[in-house]
Amino acid sequence: MRIGELAARTGVSVRSLRYYEEQGLLTSTRSAGGQRHYTEYEIERVAFIQRLYAAGLSSRTIIELLPCVDAPSAAHSHAALERMATERERLSAHIDDLLRTRDALDALMAAAQDHRDASCRAAV
């Protein structure tokens, strides 16, 4: 499939796909006319890259992890495991922060609801 179709099927812009390729995150073959062509595999690859970006990983970190995804081996495992553990710790800390923020919002919402309910009762 060509880059426009990959973009449409993944919901990722053509510009982003070109960037992924420049960074070594994505590969394509080229037609005689120089057009990029992708396989069905790249659809899942782009989704995986998007999930990693959404989790806050940088291009550099993703590039470090992809060899372990593409060709798991003892040579890739040690460094990749260390990097994944670091990223997992970072994500866990971020999740904890998000949960605390959600709990604080829940408390504010409950206080606002109590205030509104009290105001309504007083008006009756």
How many C-beta atoms lie closer than 10 Å to residue 24's C-beta? 11
Determine the pLDDT at residue 75. 66
Distance CA 6, CA 4 (A): 5
Q: Is the pLDDT of residue 72 over 80?
A: no
Which has more confidence, 77 or 39? 39
**CA dihedral angle for residue 76, residue 81, residue 86, residue 87, rounded to 10 degrees:** 80
Residues 6-52: pLDDT tens digits? 999 999 999 999 999 999 899 999 999 989 999 999 999 999 999 99
Instruction: Calculate the alpha carbon distances from 34 to 3, 25, 31 in Å.
Output: 12, 19, 5
